[in-house]
Amino acid sequence: MSEFNVKAIILLLFLSICAFSAHRFGFLDTSISIINSPGIQRIEAISNANTNTVLKYDEKIIVDCRLLKLSRYDFCGVSIKLGAPEIEQGLDLAGYDKLALTLHFKAPVVTAKIKVSFRNFNSNYAVAGDDVSLKFNSIIYNPNLHNATVVVPFNALQVDNWWASQYQVGLDNSQVDLSNISLFEVFTDNLTAPGEYQIAVHSAVLNGKLISEANLLKLIFVIWLSSAICLITLQRNKLKIIATTDLLTGLYNRRGISEWTNKFLSMNKPHSTLYIFYLDLDDFKKVNDTYGHLVGDELLIGFCTRIQRYLDTMPDKRFVFARLSGDEFTLITRGVEKAELTDFAENLLEVLTLPISLNEHKIMARASLGIALFEQGINTFEDLLARADSAMYYAKKEGKNQYKLFDESVSKDIFFRKQTAEKIKNALADNAFHLNFMPIFDSHSLAVVSVEVLLRTHAKSLEGIGPDIFIPIAEEYELIEKIDLWVIEATFKQITKERDFLAQNPLIFCINISAAELHNPLFASQLKALLYLYKIDPRSIEIELTETSLVEADQLSIDTLNEIRELGIKLALDDFGTGYTAFSQLINYPVDCLKIDKSFIDNLDSPDSTQATMIKAIIAIAKSYQLKTVAEGIEHRAQYHYLTEHGCNMMQGYLFAKPMIWKGLKNFLEDPDIFKSRLLLIDKTVGNKLPLKL
């Protein structure tokens, strides 16, 4: 519940208590004096033929009566006309609930009584020319038996039976009704003895509430109900805004842009040209690693501001801008025609050529764009975004900071990837994968200390499609977890099968897993279960992840790595140096080994000394963190010599051995001639150092 809602409820509760208390303590009371009311039209004495009456009216009303002789019904008193002069228009007294009447009554008999009547006009039963037809809402009492002021509650009033009988009024209209009182009368009730009578009305005050307690409670309930509906509606709208808005940039988030696009698509406007741009910032991870996430967030805000300013220069076009996640954005355009598309995309990239000024830095924020057109056959935002995403992938692959329109070539690639994903599924079902093993050597003894487990397939449908192609596709189509488990279990089966051999030739098996496993909460427990099932010593297993898999590492990723380490398994960072991980961040990752990427090894003989410097820095940092280092892709003795000289612990590459099936690996490990050739390699390297152009 929001703070505003809490405050509103507290205010409503306070006002409700105040209103109820005000009602109970009389602050909502209302009153009107009948004999002094500005609504009085006339005051007159009333009596029958046997009675002489004299009316006096000043501050009070006094009626003196003399009954000369008795008849069937004798009376005298005062009648006050209320409301308009016409009998049909009286006063609405329904809002009052009692009458405070102060009068004195003198009569020759102590049992004489007074009758108080409120006479109501209603066209259902009253006739304008017949005053007696007005309903008698009356009460009869003996004033001499009460205090001077008598409070008459209106629920004590009754309709005169003689009146209902005489005018044949039904039950519905014979109930007390004070909604249109034309006459208020105080008179004697059937004088029973001749003599002098006097009625002195000192005051007649109607008392009531501005609102009854029942109606007040109803009103409070209605206010609470209305307020609850309003608060719920406001909260719902606020939650909807929160749910569809990116908190950092204030743009639509993925859900918001999805709802907007799906609504547009459902309207099915064939004549509306709609393009979607998928924008992905280039090398944004470098900014976070170099300057920190706060500066990274500041850059994202600056990037959005820069794009929005450009869009504001085209008021005749309509744009919807959204942040999907991280450094990924989408821009939907309406009104940009196909002939304008190239200029629009180029100008969009052009506005990003200048650095963005932040509080303390100026940083470039270039982006790669993928563009897709809304066409027939596209039914959802995800369909449209998938096309733009595929086009953006090509823009990245072709060098970044450029745009790519989804076209037939991109469509063919999507079709290829879908087909390949299906082939991978079939290969898994048919057990059409197998393992190769690439030896890893100790730099000084050249003894094989471990092997990298490599996945290969003999499925004919995947012929010519290597792991570098089908593994990313498996990740894209969420097949990689099955592949990872297959590789791990196949490796464990091989270890179990070769226990005797491995007892004589101990090896560490290095198994590559996908970055997706870092966000798989079940992976560590699945790995533990397989270790137990095949009775594998966890010290003989090393799990390898590419450094780039830690680009978006979060706490869940770190927790998963720690769970793997707690099993006794070692962790290695593969392709280190290509993922732009700051060396200082290594302390956050529970790894044991860094594998220096082959791209650094290949360029050791380059006139540019950058690669050699990088290798020395990686080895030095690894030593400071007490990590082992493995150099990948060793193909020349000069590379081996340089790396050995600078302290690299282990090496692998075609100079020593190529990947091989298990049988080939066993022969390789058992063949003494091969071991001699490795020793000869050391001798030649030490004795005849090849010059390196560094």
Radius of gyration of the chain (CA): 49
Per-residue pLDDT at 253 exceeds 60? yes
Residue-wise pLDDT tens digits, 187-210: 998 888 999 999 999 999 999 888
**Is the pLDDT reported for residue 226 higher than 60?**
yes
pTM for the predicted model, two decimal places: 0.56
Considering the chain, what percentage of its residues have pLDDT values greater than 90?
43
Domain 31-209: CATH class, spelled out: mainly beta
Q: Which residue has the higher pLDDT, 272 or 42?
A: 42
Span 243-267, mean pLDDT? 87
- How many Å apart are CA 158 and CA 359, to the nearest integer? 84
- For residues 566 and 571, what is the distance between their CA atoms, to the nearest angstrom? 11
- pLDDT given at position 597: 87
* 693 confidence band (pLDDT: 50, 70, 90): very low
Q: Which helix (H) or strand (E) holds 78?
A: strand 76-82
Would you state the pLDDT for residue 507?
95
615-651 pLDDT, tens digit each: 898 899 889 889 999 999 999 888 999 999 999 999 9
Give the pLDDT mean for 418-438: 93
Mean pLDDT of 401-429: 88
Q: Up-side HSE of residue 514: CA atoms within 13 Å toward CB?
A: 26
Superfamily of domain 254-406: Reverse transcriptase/Diguanylate cyclase domain (3.30.70.270)
Superfamily classification of domain 418-687: EAL domain (3.20.20.450)
Query: Residue 692: its pLDDT value, please?
Result: 37
- Name 452's bridge partners: 438, 510
Mode of pairing for the β-strands spanning 158-159 and 195-209: unpaired
Q: What is the pLDDT of residue 628?
A: 94
**Lowest-confidence range among 270-274, 320-324, 654-658?**
270-274
Between 36-45, 156-165, 224-233, the lowest mean confidence (pLDDT) is in 36-45
Contacts of 7 (CB under 8 A, 6+ apart): none
